[in-house]
Chain A
Amino acid sequence: MNTAFLVMAFVAAVNPARIRPGLPEDGGRARPLPLALGSAAVLAAAAAGVYLAEPLLDALDVSPETFRLAAGLVMAVAAGWVLWFPHRGPEPAMAGLGAALVPVAFPLLVSPEVFVLAISAGADEPAPAVLGALAAALVAVNALGAVPRRGPADTLLRGVARLTAALLMVAALALIVSGIRDV
């Protein structure tokens, strides 16, 4: 996995366009503080996951190649789901800054596809590269959150979400092939 692939895979797994309608809003824009705090929390949690990926897989008696294959399959299922259901409605939110945890961090940003990708990449690649790629995806979410949802925005978001899911499918297939081919 090179850096460009990691960025593409994490952006596709996070899928900013799909989660955008679920973010807590204020005046048509996502509330910036909970979004930024939630993103930071996810990055911190991911850092722990990435650094612990190898010991975690060791404890599970799973080789990185096998997990990569499994991660690819999980991502492929997730991509198929989003291709079929690109729309994600508003999520119930905790009050105040608690919205950073629910729904921003969970369930919007931390999805199964993001989780398995972080563990798989963490077991295979240097942690800074993995976390940098995830950070890029989170920046994209925050940037999109600042754009007001008006007029045909949701229709556009659905289309972009589908395209992003197609990218996720490509990344998933690449991981599957790599999991089969690598020793």
Chain B
Amino acid sequence: MRRLLFPHLALWVLGAALVRVALIPAETCPPVTAGQARAAIAEAAAWLERGLDGDGRYVYGYTRDTDVESPAYNLVRHAGAVYSLYRVASQGEGDTVGAADAGLAFMLDRLEPAGGGTAFAEPGQRVELGANGLFLVALAERRAATGDPAYDGVMRDVAAFIVGQREPDGALLALWDPRTGLPVPGTYGIFATGEAFWGLVRLHQIFPDEGWDDAARPTARYLATERDRREGQVTMYPDHWAAYGMADLAAAGERLDGDLVHYARRLAGFFSVRTRVESQRTGHGVNLLVRGWPGPPSGVGTAGEGAAALWRLAGDDPRLAELRPGLEEDLRCMAGMSVARQVSAAEASGYPRPGLVRGAWFYRDYTQVDDQQHTIAALVDTLPILDPTR
């Protein structure tokens, strides 16, 4: 009998061990306080500020072990970094307007007529929808941070460019060609549509009587119901920009239709599972084989941004209220991981250029401007949870 039972028991023990190691490693969420999150935001914002050059560009990427700075640059991520710095200021979490204004100047210097409006692009290059969507968002956030209406006209012009990229079903073409003076047919960006959608919503928040919500709604529907199929995504794309847009649409008092609510719920699930998987990653031992390295900080940050946006949305829309507790838990976890993984001054001192290491989040030995951008934005938007008295 014992001999016959032993294989069963052995299989159970081996199976349980396999399940524990491969399927359900511990989800480790370091405890975090609002003070620690604020310190992390300040350190990361300082990294962006230290990386500014005389032209208003930020350090794009840096490999710490070889001390090599990336020669690449990306306008979308530039605009996103500017947004995140204005976001810090608008939420009263630091005086980052100067560093953001320097980056803004870089974009304002590159404005040119495009479509029915204005857009920023490198001279002679195709104009990118996503970069201009985030440019618009950054301008809106600057207005929130400073109250300065100086760029209201620019915002309207950039929004007009975005509207000019729209197709009948709400899709937005990702590029505009200065040589033809037309949008480039058949070009769609994974993130660009959501970025531009959010930009239009931000403009509606500032100028609620100008009809920018009417411009945004077809794209919202497209994102929720058509985009993945039409743009060839195998599964739903976890688009945190769309989450931002829906949250701000609801915050502006607009009721989301059922398709958008369904989409928001599905997005919440994707951001949640992303954070849970991340919390299982230790980066060493057997865990490294089954879960890989701790993920790119930009990925962790975008999941946090999306979850935070949907947490706000769930507070405004009772149909999604049941998502709030789970999203809160995920956001605390994201914040804890981010604070724990940020490079401290002491750790940075061992590298050739500590100023490009301190305050940053690295994927293995490389950091990129959007690693800071997304994590800053996610942490700032998590502060209302970490510090409910705020």
The answer to whether A and B assemble together is yes
A interface residues with partner B (beta carbon < 8 Å): 60-63, 65-67, 69-70, 73-74, 91-92, 94, 102, 106-107, 112, 116, 179-183
The CB with the most chain B CB atoms within 10 A, among A66, A67, A179, is that of A66
The CB with the most chain A CB atoms within 10 A, among B15, B266, B276, B330, is that of B276
Stretch at the interface among B21-29, B190-198, B221-229, B382-390: B21-29
A138 CB to closest chain B CB, in angstroms?
20
A67 touches B24 (CB 8 A): yes
A126 CB to closest chain B CB, in angstroms?
17
Complex Cα distance, B19 from A65, in Å, reads 15
Given contacts A69-B273, A183-B327, A183-B330, 16 further A-B contacts (CB under 8 A): A60-B20, A61-B27, A63-B27, A65-B276, A66-B280, A70-B19, A74-B19, A74-B23, A92-B4, A106-B5, A112-B15, A116-B19, A179-B273, A181-B266, A181-B269, A182-B326
Which A residues touch B32, using CB under 8 A?
Answer: none
Which A residues touch B1, using CB under 8 A?
Answer: 92, 94, 102
Contact with A along B277-290 (1 / 0, CB 8 A): 00010000000000
Which B residues touch A70, using CB under 8 A?
Answer: 19, 23-24
| Smallest CB gap from B11: residue in A | A112
| Smallest CB gap from A182: residue in B | B269
B126 CB to closest chain A CB, in angstroms?
36
Complex Cα distance, B327 from A183, in Å, reads 6
| Smallest CB gap from A77: residue in B | B15
A183 touches B24 (CB 8 A): no
Contact with A along B24-62 (1 / 0, CB 8 A): 101110000000000000000000000000000000000
Identify 21 residue pairs between A and B in the complex whose beta-carbon atoms are under 8 Å apart, listed by A's number: A60-B24, A61-B28, A62-B26, A62-B27, A63-B27, A63-B329, A65-B276, A66-B27, A66-B276, A66-B280, A70-B23, A74-B19, A92-B4, A106-B8, A107-B5, A107-B8, A179-B273, A180-B269, A181-B269, A182-B326, A183-B272
- Grouping DSSP codes into helix (H, G, I), strand (E, B) and loop, the B interface class, with mixed when no group exceeds half, is helix
Complex Cα distance, B22 from A73, in Å, reads 11
Complex Cα distance, B26 from A62, in Å, reads 6
Which B residues touch A181, using CB under 8 A?
Answer: 265-266, 269-270
**Given A60-B24, A66-B27, A181-B266 in contact, is the A102-B5 Cβ separation under 8 Å?**
yes
Q: B268 contacts the other chain (Cβ, under 8 Å)?
A: yes
Complex Cα distance, B27 from A61, in Å, reads 5
**Given A107-B8, A112-B15 in contact, is the A180-B27 Cβ separation under 8 Å?**
no
B273 touches A180 (CB 8 A): yes
Complex Cα distance, B271 from A180, in Å, reads 9
B247 CB to closest chain A CB, in angstroms?
15
| Smallest CB gap from A106: residue in B | B8
Complex Cα distance, B330 from A116, in Å, reads 24
Which B residues touch A60, using CB under 8 A?
Answer: 20, 24, 26
Q: B323 contacts the other chain (Cβ, under 8 Å)?
A: yes
Complex Cα distance, B276 from A70, in Å, reads 13
Q: B12 contacts the other chain (Cβ, under 8 Å)?
A: yes
B268 touches A183 (CB 8 A): yes
Complex Cα distance, B326 from A67, in Å, reads 15
